[in-house]
Structure 1
C-alpha cells in the first residue's frame, strides 16, 4: 500500500453485526463476506464504516451521522426518512439501476422524481461523512446505490484518495444507454481515483459506455475525457475460504445436519442457494429439473433439489411475484412427479446460517449456480471451499462473474432447459476421479483469490493511485 491512512468504507447500509464473533457465533451468522474481508484493514487503521441505519424513520435532509465504536472501528450511521428510503433505495436503486445493470431493460422503471431523491441522498451521505475525514484517509465507496457519492464529496472539498467498487454487473453500452441519466452517472465516475468491477468483461462494457456516451478515449488501461482520467480494473471478489474449510471439518450439529442424516442414501441431492430475485434464474432452474425428469425417467424418485431462496426486497412488487411463481412452479412439478415419500423440489424461503450451508454443500452431489446474470456469485466459491473427501460437482451459469475463472465447473446456458438438464445428468453420473480432478483445479482457483486477497488488492491499488 501507499502512504498510510485510515480506511473509510461507505456502503448503502451499515453492517448490523460488527463485533468480532467467536467461532460458534460465526457459524450461526447468515452468509455475507464483506465485513470479514474489510475488518482487518479497518481495525489496523482505526477506520470508519458509514451506511444507512436500516430504519425508515429518520429526518429528511441533512443530518449528522450517529457514531458508535466497536473494537476500535467507528460505525457512522446515516438516518433516512421513509420518502428518502422509497425514492433512493426501493425505487431508483432497485427498480431502475438493479434491473438495468443486470441487463433486464423491460423491468427497468424510469422515474425522474426517484432519480432526484437518489442524488439528494448521495449528497446527504457525503455531507454526513465530510467532517469525519482526515486528509490522508482512503475512502472506498461500495456499489450502485452510491455511484454519485464521489462527486458529492469532491464538491464539498474532499481531495484525498477515493475508490469505487461495483459488486454487480455492468451491462453492454446499448443497454446502459437506455438510462436517461447515463451521461451524468458516467461523468461521476471520473471523480474516483480507481473504479473496480468484478470481471474483465464488465470493465470492457464500462469502457465502451464511456466512449459511446461521453466520447472518452481508452489509452492503455486509462480512460481519458477532456482533461480528466479514469482508471478501471477488475478485482474479482473471493470467498472466506478459511472459514468455510473450518466449518466443513467441524462436526457441529444443526437442524440441516439432522435433515441430511434422514436423507435416503439411495437418493442424490442437488442444492441451490440464492436470494429470491428474478436475476438468479430460480424458475429456469426448476424448469431444467422438470426437463431432467422428463428426459431421464430413471431419475424420478432418485434426485431432490433443495432450493434455498432467502426473501429479498419484499416491498417491491416484482419480488412478491417471483415468490408466487417459484411456489407455483415447484407445486406443479412436485404434483406431476412426486410420490408419497419423495418430492423432486424442496423449496425453503428463509436465510440459513453459514454452518447450515456448509453441511448442505458437503453432502450435495451437485450445486446449481445458474443465474441469468450475476456480478460474481460467491455460492459457487463457497461450495468448492466446503468440499472434503468426496467432492460434488459445480454446475455454473456462463453468465455470472465466477465463470471467468472457474473453468473446471460444468458450464450451462440457463435459458437452455434441455442443455441444462443434460449437464445436471452428467454431474450426477460423473465418475469420482473426474469429480476429484475438477474440484482440485477449482479449489486452487478459489483458495488463491480469497475475500481478503480481493480487499487487499483493491486497497493497495487505491493507496498507490
Structure 2
C-alpha cells in the first residue's frame, strides 16, 4: 500500500497490539482500526510492552508486522503498580464508570501516573517528526499531550476517550480534577463515543473552570480544543466473513449440538464490575422464576475472561459471580440441564463469531460502558435469514446507535426478565426487521468510518501556537 505523503500517524496507547494474521481471529476492534489507519498513513504505534524491567531505561523495541511498525518500552514494577493498576484502574476506571464507592484516591497512584506519562513523553518525543499527526488513546494517558507540548512538540495532537466521561459532581470527587481537565486543553481535538460523554465534559469545563463552548470548540484562556462525538465501530465486513469461516462454523455446530434443541442466550464480557454481570444473573433468575415453563428450554452461556487479577475489586467480582452462578444452578438445574454455563476464559474472535451466530439472544447489559463492541459483533455475526435478538443496556454508549435492540435498564431484574421473554417470543419477521436496521448501522458506521472521521477532523485542526511564539510574531 502506498503511504500517504501528507503526514505520518503516531498512535500512542497504553498497550500495543501488533497486527496478527487473518486467521488468528483474536484481534480486538480498536487494534484492527488503528492498524488499518497506520497502514494507510505510515507511522508508528507506541506504548507499553506489558513487560516489567528492574530499571526504566527508555529503550525501545521496534517491530514491523503486516505493514505496521510498533515501538514498545518496558516499565518498572513501581510504574505498573502506581500508573496502571493504581491510578488508571483503581482510581480513574471506577470513577469514570460512576463507581465512586470503589475509587481509591492515593497520592502515590497519582504521582506514579504523572511520572509514567512523563517517561512515555521522554521516550516517544525523539520519534516524532514535525509533520506527524499524533493520536493518543484513552484514560491511561490524559496528560501525555501536555507533556509532549512541554517538550516542544507543536504537532497536531488528538486524544480519544474510550470510556464514559462522568457527570460533573462525580468528577469533582477526584483530587486534581481541574488540573487533569486543564491539561486536556493542550490537545487540538478530543473525541468521545457519544454526545452524552461530550456534554458531560463540557458541563465540567464550563461550570468548574469557566471555559467557553461554541460551535464544537472549547476555549480556556488562550487554549482552544475541538470536541467531537465519534462512536467507534467494528470491522463489520471482516466479522461477518469470520462468522462464515471454518473456526466459526465449527463453533456454531458445537454450540448447536450441545444446546440439544434449546435456545441459547449469550453474554461475552471481560470480568469487570461495570459490565453488570451480577445484575444480569439476577435478571435471568427472575426470568426462570416468572416463566417456569421456559426452564429446560433455554440456557445462558456467560463467557467472562478474567482481567486485572491483581486488583482486589476484580477478585471480589469473580468470587461473587462464581457463588451466584453456583446458587442458581444448584436451585434450578436438573439432571440433564443447567441454566447457566459460566466460563472464565477468552476465545478468539472467529470462534466467538460462531458462538454469537448460534445464540437466539445476545445479552449485553453493562451498568455503564463507553461503547460496547460486543453488541455490534453479535449483530454482525447473525444469519440474515434467521437472526437473533439483541438485548442492550440503555447505559451502553452503543444504545445511541442501536435503537432497534431491546433496550433495558440493567439495574432492573424485571426488565431483563421481560426482555428475555419478549425476545424468545418475537416473530421471525420482527427479528429480521430489527436486525436489518441494526446491521445497516453497524456496516455504515464501522471502524474505518470512526478512524477516518477522527483523523480528518484532526488534520483540519489548527496547529498549536504557544503564547511565547505568539508574542514574537
**TM-score over 0.5 for the alignment?**
yes
Identify the residue that residue 438 of structure 2 maps to in structure 1: 442
After TM superposition, the structure 1 = structure 2 runs for residues 231-380 of structure 1, keeping only pairs within 5 Å, are 231-252=226-247, 256-380=251-375
Cα distance change on mapping 1:293 and 1:338 into 2, 3 Å: same
Choose the corresponding residue for 1:395, options 391, 398, 404.
Answer: 391
Report the alpha carbon displacement of residue 72 of structure 1 after superposing the two structures with TM. 4.4
Cα distance change on mapping 1:411 and 1:261 into 2, 3 Å: closer
The answer to whether 1:100 aligns with 2:101 is no
Identify the residue that residue 122 of structure 1 maps to in structure 2: 117
Identify the residue that residue 32 of structure 1 maps to in structure 2: 28
Equivalent position SS for 1:322 = helix
- Alpha-carbon distance in structure 1 between the residues aligned to 2:260 and 2:62: 53
Choose the corresponding residue for 2:428, options 405, 408, 432.
Answer: 432
Identify the residue that residue 7 of structure 1 maps to in structure 2: 9
The alignment covers a number of residue pairs equal to 457
Report the alpha carbon displacement of residue 326 of structure 1 after superposing the two structures with TM. 0.5
Identify the residue that residue 79 of structure 1 maps to in structure 2: 74
- Alpha-carbon distance in structure 1 between the residues aligned to 2:254 and 2:65: 37
Equivalent position SS for 2:436 = helix
Identify the residue that residue 202 of structure 1 maps to in structure 2: 197
The answer to whether 1:133 aligns with 2:128 is yes
**Conserved? CA contact 1:57–1:80, under 8 Å:** yes
After TM superposition, the structure 1 = structure 2 runs for residues 207-246 of structure 1, keeping only pairs within 5 Å, are 207-246=202-241
Report the alpha carbon displacement of residue 44 of structure 1 after superposing the two structures with TM. 3.0
Identify the residue that residue 471 of structure 2 maps to in structure 1: none
Report the alpha carbon displacement of residue 169 of structure 1 after superposing the two structures with TM. 0.5
Choose the corresponding residue for 1:90, options 85, 88, 92.
Answer: 85
Identify the residue that residue 19 of structure 2 maps to in structure 1: 18
Identify the residue that residue 461 of structure 1 maps to in structure 2: 457
Equivalent position SS for 1:158 = coil
**Conserved? CA contact 1:5–1:45, under 8 Å:** yes
1:65-104 residue CA offsets vs partner (Å, 9 max, x unmatched) = 2323334432111210001100000000000000001111
Report the alpha carbon displacement of residue 256 of structure 1 after superposing the two structures with TM. 3.3
**Conserved? CA contact 2:9–2:134, under 8 Å:** yes
- Alpha-carbon distance in structure 2 between the residues aligned to 1:298 and 1:126: 60
**Conserved? CA contact 2:267–2:362, under 8 Å:** yes
Gaps of 5+ in 1: none
TM-score, normalised to structure 2's length?
Answer: 0.94
Cα distance change on mapping 1:253 and 1:402 into 2, 3 Å: closer
Gaps of 5+ in 2: 462-473
- Alpha-carbon distance in structure 2 between the residues aligned to 1:52 and 1:251: 34
- Alpha-carbon distance in structure 1 between the residues aligned to 2:313 and 2:37: 38
- Alpha-carbon distance in structure 2 between the residues aligned to 1:58 and 1:173: 40
**Conserved? CA contact 1:38–1:452, under 8 Å:** no
Report the alpha carbon displacement of residue 201 of structure 1 after superposing the two structures with TM. 0.4
- Alpha-carbon distance in structure 2 between the residues aligned to 1:250 and 1:41: 25
1:285-328 residue CA offsets vs partner (Å, 9 max, x unmatched) = 00001100111111111110000001100000111111110110
Report the alpha carbon displacement of residue 155 of structure 1 after superposing the two structures with TM. 0.1
Equivalent position SS for 1:266 = coil
